A and B are shown apart, each in its own frame.
Chain A
Amino acid sequence: MSETTENPIREAIQEALTEHPVILFMKGTPERPMCGFSARTVAALEALNAPFAAVDILPDPRIRQELSAISNWPTIPQLFVKGELVGGCDIVTEMYETGELAQVLGVEPPAAAPGEAPVAAEPGAPPLQPHNNLT
């Protein structure tokens, strides 16, 4: 990040995607999600105790713009595993319920039979499992 580039934000995103095997681009932070969809996605990851990096896209609108250009995906959140887009809130929630999410993340599926998606905290509400995954 020391040299000036044509598109430093895009390069920073690509670097983050290479660096973190599991990374979530979201509105807000895992402790303070600023959107219900981001909150629900964080809840699914935390329910599996899956370690993940998180990037808040809100501070600069260009992050979202560049991210969507890279991923060809218009909405936030976006979950990437090994640099590949897994999906947004709907797909992640669906995959949590079917057990596919645990498989993709390489973690143990939840002890209970998959079924109900974890309850997401409302935006701004204190999350159930505070856990800082920002790096």
Chain B
Amino acid sequence: MPSAQDVKQRIETAIPGARVDVTDLTGGGDHFRATVVAGAFAGMSRIEQHRTVYAVFGPEIGGPIHALSLETRAE
């Protein structure tokens, strides 16, 4: 099970310059909430911004990561 810190680091690595805040909602390592603010999101719709973050985890979303609740903003 990933920790909130793991999730944060993976998003930051995949989206350079992103400011990421992650909370483990249940403490169980499978329900997270992330706030991601990134320059790379400029010009993207919300859907595209969320897809970009989901893409970091691929099939883990819906698998070991049951839920990743997102709030995204362009820098």
Which listed residue, A76, A86, A89, touches B69 by the CB 8 Å rule?
A89
Residues of B within 8 A of A (CB): 46-47, 50-51, 54, 59, 61-62, 67-71
- The answer to whether A91 touches B47, judged by C-beta atoms less than 8 angstroms apart, is yes
A interface majority secondary structure? mixed
Number of A residues near B (Cβ < 8 Å) is 16
- The answer to whether A75 touches B71, judged by C-beta atoms less than 8 angstroms apart, is no
Q: Decide: A37 near B46, CB < 8 A? Known: A72-B51, A74-B62.
A: no
Which listed residue, B50, B54, B61, B67, touches A91 by the CB 8 Å rule?
B50
A-B pairs with the 7 shortest C-beta distances?
A74-B61, A74-B54, A91-B46, A90-B70, A74-B62, A90-B69, A87-B47
Question: How does the 8 Å CB contact mask read for A76-116 relative to B, with 1 for contact and 0 for none?
Answer: 10000000011111110010000000000000000000000
Q: Which chain B positions have C-beta within 8 A of A87?
A: 46-47, 50
Q: Which chain B positions have C-beta within 8 A of A91?
A: 46-47, 50
Could you list some 7 contacts between A and B, CB below 8 A?
A37-B67, A64-B62, A73-B51, A74-B59, A75-B61, A75-B67, A88-B50
